[in-house]
Amino acid sequence: MSQHHNTIGRRAFIRNSGLASGGLILGFSWLNSCKPKQVTEAAVLEMPKEWFEINSYLKIGENGLATIYCPNPEFGQGVMTSMPMMVAEELDIAWDNVLVEIAPYDAEVYGRQFTGGSQGIRTRWEGLRTVGASAKQMLKEAAAKQWGVPVSEITTADGVLTHEATGNTLGYGEVASAAMEIAVPEEVTLKSPKEFKIISNSKKNVEGKKIVTGKPMFGIDYQYEGALVAMATHPPAFGLKLKSFDATKAKSMPGIVDVFEINTYADDYKRNFFDTNAFTELVVVVGKSTWEVMNAKKSLDVQWEPISDYEYTADRFGMEAKIKVPSGLESSDAHYAKMEELASQPGQVVRKDGDPEEVFKTAAKIIERSYTCPFLAHNCMEPMNFFAHVTEEGAKLAGPLQAPMLIEGAIAASLGLTPDKVDIEMTRMGGGFGRRAYAHYAVEAGLISKKVNAPVKLVYTREDDMTFGIYRPSYQATYRAALDENNNLVAFHVKAGGIPETPVFADRFPAGAVENYMAEQWEHNSNITIGAFRAPRSNFMAGVEQAFLDEVAELAGKDPIEFRLELLDRAMKNPVGEKNDYEADRLAGVLELVRDKSDWGAEKPGVFRGVAAYFCHNTYAAHVLDVVKGTDGTPRVENAVCAMDCGIVVNPDAAANMCEGGIVDGVGNAMFGGLTFRDGATQQTNFDKYRIIRHSEAPKNIEVYFVQNEIDPTGLGEPPFPPVMGALANALYKAEGRRMYNQPFISDKPDLVG
């Protein structure tokens, strides 16, 4: 395994200011452009003289309690516990003396408050620890000044400062006010992993009791005196837009305040990457209660008409892009036919090592397989919702967002306000999975409030949510592999694409492990809106790649794990190419760990086993799934063993929970998940037709193991999810005697589930 010491990827600054109630308050940020500096045992951060944006706060009260603010939005991944743990570790305060709150949203003050891409812990690792270490140093200097002793002689533990030579002790709260007068340290020393007492030791979810006792924490729970309820009607199919509507009956119904049209984006507004929205013209019903609004909405007489081809300009992280939207009413049958057609044509070559075309001509054995998957809906348990109160003075909004800074500009532009007049309160999210990064519903709430001149809570029904768009794309991939006469893999070819994006990762395994390798890609545009879905693109490519590698291993007459390890050994000792974006030793490490922990190779009567391993979001995952058959012959996952290498694990129990959830989610989506279209309309509009996993279908037992190392932590919300599909496909092959090439597997072989 590759071992790394702490590095300094960003410089931080600390600033202090007075609290009205007395105490110490710290804020911090970092410069993204600073170069890492190697150290051996601990990381020392040099503080710049300049002041930058604040990302979070630490407050220490006179009683010694600390309030630590979590800067990132929370939707179940546990950052409200793990991020404050990192601050508390370096502060040397007892965890029982820590209170946690979500930081308020402020783009200028707090910077990038974003939950997504499994980047939260990874990007906050040094900054959050730095604020704790800096506060501790200032407290030590204040105590040293009071006692008249060298600061180097003062030690800290559990919120207490001690000078051993004199026996003097002080609680943090006793010197908090004095510490505010201390200059911010130019350097702080961060602990080495061997010194951790809080990090890597499990802590209970700080909001766990609130969740299980049903406290109002989520956007859907948000209450505001006098607030009206709003719902919107959008076109019934992609490729349609609003033509006209008659709201005569709806307006006459009890409790209805108004019915009107809104357009979410002005013609001259330049969208950003996350301003994705197929339905910008909506008919809105506003009333006094949810039930009254729902009934009035059903009575609307709305006429729709086809859209024409159009395009708009979008800012994609500083780069201008022209987004072309085609007209037409699309259907899944046509999608699959088009993908099959494009798969048979040459694609765009994005990587080529050696001469794979020539090797395929003379290979002893060749295997080729194709795979497909449908669109997927996110289906967060909490449907989209948002509160807004817009007045002449400004706008107050509240609701569930993964990335408030990405929607603030759209809200301000739509309301004719400057961003400083827009106040967004972040609530806990009842699921996200990427969907809540596309917050058009917040813009809609603001426009509705402005129109009726009253506070409004916009609520989507499940049908609204499932049919509005922002789906996981539909993909197709074709793999070819060539073996020589000694059953060595000598050429590998992947060509993949989708509607409307390609899922190809050209530089991932087995790139770098095969002398002759080629990756091609293609795309076909669509008016159906897509967006990030848990582990974007990886959620398809991991499964099909790992299913295909099992078939190649079988053709070669080799054990699936040993076959992968042989390839990874080549990638370690003599890698092909220089762009491989994975560390072969770490990928091999999780395979070896899952092999050992699952007792791979041991025969278990009636148990059919499948394995898969994958790298994404800077993290390595490997799973072994055990499938058994019920008395009716229906296969189900009985047991799962998971091995992860995500570097240092901040909160082990919470990390294991994320892996368990990812495995259950992966099994459910692989077996049942699918959204299909006919004439532009979704054929599944609620859970009666969109099949999700049931409690009885979840694995009965899941074991999670982490590779122990001192590498800085990486992502964990998404990486456990993608390889599940491959491990399941490989296990089902052994159970059923036939391969699954099309997701969901229930449609590939309908008798899998009764």
Interval 303-358: pLDDT, tens: 999 999 999 988 887 888 899 999 999 999 999 999 999 999 999 999 999 999 99
pLDDT at 36: 37
- Contact between 386 and 426 under an 8 Å Cβ cutoff? The reply is no
Regarding whether 624 and 497 lie in a shared domain, the answer is yes
Domain end call among 445, 467, 489 = 467
Regarding whether 177 and 88 lie in a shared domain, the answer is yes
pLDDT at 749: 59
CATH of the domain at 357: 3.30.365.10
Regarding whether 545 and 687 lie in a shared domain, the answer is yes
Regarding whether 506 and 645 lie in a shared domain, the answer is yes
- Contact between 733 and 627 under an 8 Å Cβ cutoff? The reply is no
pLDDT at 10: 29
Regarding whether 459 and 582 lie in a shared domain, the answer is no
216 assigned to some structural domain: no
pLDDT at 58: 82
pLDDT at 317: 77
Query: Confidence band (pLDDT; 50, 70, 90) for 60?
Result: confident
> What is the arithmetic mean of pLDDT over 680-705?
96
pLDDT exceeds cutoff 90 at 21: no
> What is the arithmetic mean of pLDDT over 699-710?
97
Task: Kindly state the percentage of the chain with pLDDT values over 90.
Answer: 79
Regarding whether 274 and 344 lie in a shared domain, the answer is no
> What is the arithmetic mean of pLDDT over 548-563?
98
Q: How far is CA 29 from the centre of its chain?
A: 22
212 assigned to some structural domain: no
Query: Confidence band (pLDDT; 50, 70, 90) for 48?
Result: very low
pLDDT at 103: 87
Regarding whether 499 and 384 lie in a shared domain, the answer is no
Q: Which residue from 457, 452, 447 is spatially nearest to 422, judged by alpha carbons?
A: 447
Domain end call among 448, 467, 486 = 467
Regarding whether 424 and 498 lie in a shared domain, the answer is no
pLDDT at 49: 31
pLDDT at 159: 94
Q: How far is CA 567 from the centre of its chain?
A: 30
pLDDT at 44: 42
pLDDT at 645: 98
CA-based angle 348:546:568, to the nearest 5?
Answer: 90
pLDDT exceeds cutoff 50 at 283: yes
Interval 102-159: pLDDT, tens: 988 976 666 688 888 888 899 889 988 998 999 899 999 999 999 999 999 999 999 9
326 assigned to some structural domain: no
Regarding whether 303 and 362 lie in a shared domain, the answer is no
pLDDT at 23: 56
Residue 99 carries which side chain, given as an amino acid letter?
A: L
Query: Confidence band (pLDDT; 50, 70, 90) for 752?
Result: very low
Q: How many domains does the chain have?
A: 3
pLDDT at 747: 84
- Contact between 262 and 448 under an 8 Å Cβ cutoff? The reply is yes
Query: Confidence band (pLDDT; 50, 70, 90) for 633?
Result: confident
- Contact between 75 and 717 under an 8 Å Cβ cutoff? The reply is no
First vs last C-alpha separation in the chain = 45
CA torsion sign, 433 to 435 to 436 to 437? positive
pLDDT at 631: 86
275 assigned to some structural domain: yes
Interval 160-212: pLDDT, tens: 999 999 999 999 988 988 887 888 788 899 999 999 999 999 999 999 999 99
What's the rounded Cα separation, in Å, for the pair 119 and 595?
28
What's the rounded Cα separation, in Å, for the pair 476 and 343?
8
Range of the domain at 737: 338-376+471-752
Regarding whether 684 and 719 lie in a shared domain, the answer is yes
Residue 475 carries which side chain, given as an amino acid letter?
A: Y
Regarding whether 413 and 359 lie in a shared domain, the answer is no
pLDDT at 686: 97
Regarding whether 303 and 431 lie in a shared domain, the answer is yes
pLDDT at 131: 86
- Residues facing residue 156 across a β-bridge: 161
399 assigned to some structural domain: yes
pLDDT at 3: 29
List helix spans (H) across 70-155. 79-91, 107-110, 120-147
Q: Please count the CA atoms within 13 angstroms of the CA of 660 that sit on its side-chain side.
A: 15
pLDDT at 259: 98
What count of other Cβ atoms lies within 10 Å of the Cβ of residue 61? Answer: 18
pLDDT exceeds cutoff 50 at 2: no
3 assigned to some structural domain: no
What's the rounded Cα separation, in Å, for the pair 40 and 5?
6
Q: Which residue from 718, 742, 691, 750 is spatially nearest to 335, judged by alpha carbons?
A: 742
Q: Which residue from 303, 247, 126 is spatially nearest to 713, judged by alpha carbons?
A: 126
pLDDT exceeds cutoff 60 at 284: yes
332 assigned to some structural domain: no
Interval 496-545: pLDDT, tens: 999 999 999 999 999 999 999 999 999 999 999 999 999 999 999 999 99
Task: Kindly state the percentage of the chain with pLDDT values over 70.
Answer: 91
pTM for this structure? 0.92
Domain end call among 425, 452, 467 = 467
- Contact between 46 and 13 under an 8 Å Cβ cutoff? The reply is no
pLDDT at 26: 63
Interval 451-508: pLDDT, tens: 999 999 999 999 999 999 999 999 999 999 999 999 999 999 999 999 999 999 999 9
pLDDT exceeds cutoff 80 at 748: no
659 assigned to some structural domain: yes
What strands, in cross-sheet order, belong to the sheet with 98-102? 11-17, 24-31, 56-60, 66-70, 98-102
